[in-house]
Amino acid sequence: MSDAAQPTAAEVRAAAEAVKTALDRHLAAVEGRPGENAQSVNEAFNELAAAAEVYDELLYERYDEVTPFDIPGSVPPYTGPEEPDAISVLIRRDYIVAEPQRLLAQAQRVEDAEGEEVAGRGTGEASGTVRALDIVFGEFEPDEIASRHKEFGLEEGDSTLWVTALDEPAEAGEWLETPFEQPDPKRVVCRFDASAVFDEETEDEETEDEDLTDEDLGQDPELDPVLDDEDLEPLDADR
């Protein structure tokens, strides 16, 4: 970010004051809530999360510093039924078509085995990669494709799984016309995310650990020298 686009010190200070105000409101809402899952507490939580996120961003942009806050601003507290009678499982998996020829070859194998039965599953007169995707995903279960993605010329991207609570089971065919509407975040029972970003963070932490010296670990190298094989006493079997 260029210096001209950086926030001013006054803007950072104002964001800090907004966090303080949001903290006071959140505490007041918690102290005065009429019962569990009070709407006032949820609203105060979201305001605090938003204020903390803004402050964290401005602080980093201005001073290259961060806060210790870890507030899940995008996932508010669960307010769904305590004993849900039904749930909805939402799954998204992204792939990169890394090797189109491998994908086409897999689709051709399916066509050769099933013949005309695979025609017209959903892509009409489409050909090439689009038709190959139609055939492959029509023939194999999503979990099987996920476990064998390299065989289909696919490269894994991000994926996520959300479990959301429903008030009652949906009627057959009720949501098929619009199956991917945004779920209510307050009804998310749990979610599981997978991303290369997490792997990179783990690798960075491992690299940092490997780079630590004896002094970083609080050890005196002179008092804890590295022993050679000649310095080690022989085992009983070697005597």
Q: What is d(CA 64, CA 198) in angstroms, rounded to the nearest whole number?
A: 22
150 or 35: which carries more pLDDT confidence? Answer: 150
Judge whether residue 204 has pLDDT over 60. no
Other beta carbons within 10 angstroms of residue 154's beta carbon come to: 23
Judge whether residue 1 has pLDDT over 50. no
* Residue 101: partners with Cβ closer than 8 Å, 6 or more residues away: 153
What totals of helices (H) and strands (E) does the chain contain, helices first?
6, 3
User: Of the given ranges (54-63, 66-75, 154-163), which has the lowest mean pLDDT?
Assistant: 66-75
pLDDT for the residue numbered 25: 92
228 or 1: which carries more pLDDT confidence? Answer: 228
Length of the chain: 239
pLDDT category at 173 given cuts 50, 70, 90 is very high
Q: Is the pTM of this model over 0.85?
A: no
Q: And the tokens for 233?
A: 């006493």
Q: What is d(CA 109, CA 161) in angstroms, rounded to the nearest whole number?
A: 31
181-202 pLDDT tens trace: 878 888 889 888 888 877 665 5
186 with 74: CB under 8 angstroms? no
pLDDT for the residue numbered 197: 75
36-65 pLDDT tens trace: 667 788 788 888 888 888 998 899 889 888
149 with 95: CB under 8 angstroms? yes
Over range 84-89, report the average pLDDT.
94
* Residue 22: partners with Cβ closer than 8 Å, 6 or more residues away: 44, 47, 48, 50, 51, 52
Judge whether residue 239 has pLDDT over 50. no
pLDDT category at 73 given cuts 50, 70, 90 is very low
Q: And the tokens for 12?
A: 């950072």
Proportion of the chain above pLDDT 90, given as a percent: 41
Residue where the block lists tokens 């996932």: 75
111 with 135: CB under 8 angstroms? yes
Judge whether residue 238 has pLDDT over 60. no
Q: What is d(CA 159, CA 139) in angstroms, rounded to the nearest whole number?
A: 21
